[in-house]
Amino acid sequence: MHRDRFYTLTASCPDQVGIIAKVSGFIAGNGGWILESSFHADALTGRYFMRIEIKAEALPFLLAEFRERFRSAVAEPLGMDWRITDSAVKKRVVIMVSKQEHCLYDLLARWQAKELDIEIPCVVSNHDALRGFVEWHGIPFHHVPVGKDNKAQAYAEIARIFEDVRGDCMVLARYMQILSPELCDALPGRIINIHHSFLPSFAGAKPYHQAYERGVKLIGATCHYVTSELDAGPIIEQDVIRIDHSDSPEDMVRYGKDIEKTVLARGLRYHLEDRVLVHGNKTVVFR
């Protein structure tokens, strides 16, 4: 990560001749200094993807004017879906958790060490067990119980909290509830989950037990965006660990906790650094 302030342009458009020339020419024509660039052409869909970091102080105007000039000169003529973000604006991440604490512990440790340069305006849980740990870090804690008779009200309250704290991203750090379709649809590409299996295998509850019954030799974890279809959203990051016939479901749960933490942290980092472009139910991830 660069120390100097920079803007990140992410975009996709129909593949065509002259995309890089038009984008880089616009940046250079305004004195822009490109710090990093990544490109990908998807031959099957005919779609082109890009991510470019631009040194902010190299440009002769502020971000708002940069966006407007880019829109009219480049984005509209190329038919782009695009956005430009500012490294000086920290993203606000709302963490959702239930009783299992390992992913929450890891995220807060990375936040304290400034490995994740974010703001955490609050933690929301359907249990009260982790309140003391969260508040010890100086982070507000919201207990929102979720039962079979109050799910609509509970998820409406979570949506209200997220809006009130001006959240940019919601992270389900082993939040063991299925979000309402309304909440998922309201925040497309902004809710990140860690699922304790190598999706699409073993979706749903108790995936390690499902894996044990199937006799697999690899178990994994998947960081993905949440959609209204359970455990079926676009995948951001995955990893696996080898096991054998002697490992019990409890062993697999223990091994899995380590990989869940690292996969969630990597996937969240890619999202925060605008390295993930969603296309349908797939992603392009510029690592």
Name which of 29-33, 207-211, 274-278 the model is least confident about.
207-211
C-alpha–C-alpha distance, residues 163 and 183, integer Å: 12
Q: Any idea what DSSP says for residue 57?
A: G
C-alpha–C-alpha distance, residues 277 and 38, integer Å: 12
What's this model's pTM, rounded to 2 decimal places? 0.94
Q: What is the pLDDT of residues 62-75, one digit of tens each?
A: 999 999 999 999 99
Q: Are 8 and 52 in contact (CB under 8 A)?
A: yes
The superfamily CATH assigns to domain 93-285 is: Formyl transferase, N-terminal domain (3.40.50.170)
Q: What is the mean pLDDT of residues 255-274?
A: 96
Domain ranges (residues) in the chain:
6-86, 93-285
Q: Mean pLDDT score of the chain, rounded to an integer?
A: 94
Catalytic position from the list 128, 231, 247, 274: 231
Question: Which two three-digit tokens encode residue 245?
Answer: 């016939």
Question: Which two three-digit tokens encode residue 259?
Answer: 């990989």
What is the pLDDT at residue 197? Answer: 80
Q: What is the mean pLDDT of residues 82-102?
A: 97
C-alpha–C-alpha distance, residues 73 and 80, integer Å: 11
What is the pLDDT at residue 2? Answer: 54
What is the pLDDT at residue 107? Answer: 98
Q: 207-214 and 249-272 are packed helices; what angle lies between their axes, rounded to 10 degrees?
A: 120
Q: Where are the beta strands (DSSP E) in 3-121?
A: 6-14, 34-42, 47-55, 81-86, 93-97
* Residue whose C-alpha is closest to residue 169's, from 145, 189, 184, 185: 189
What is the pLDDT at residue 252? Answer: 87
Question: Which two three-digit tokens encode residue 113?
Answer: 């060490």
Fold of the CATH domain 6-86: Alpha-Beta Plaits (3.30.70)
Question: Active-site residue 231, yes or no?
Answer: yes
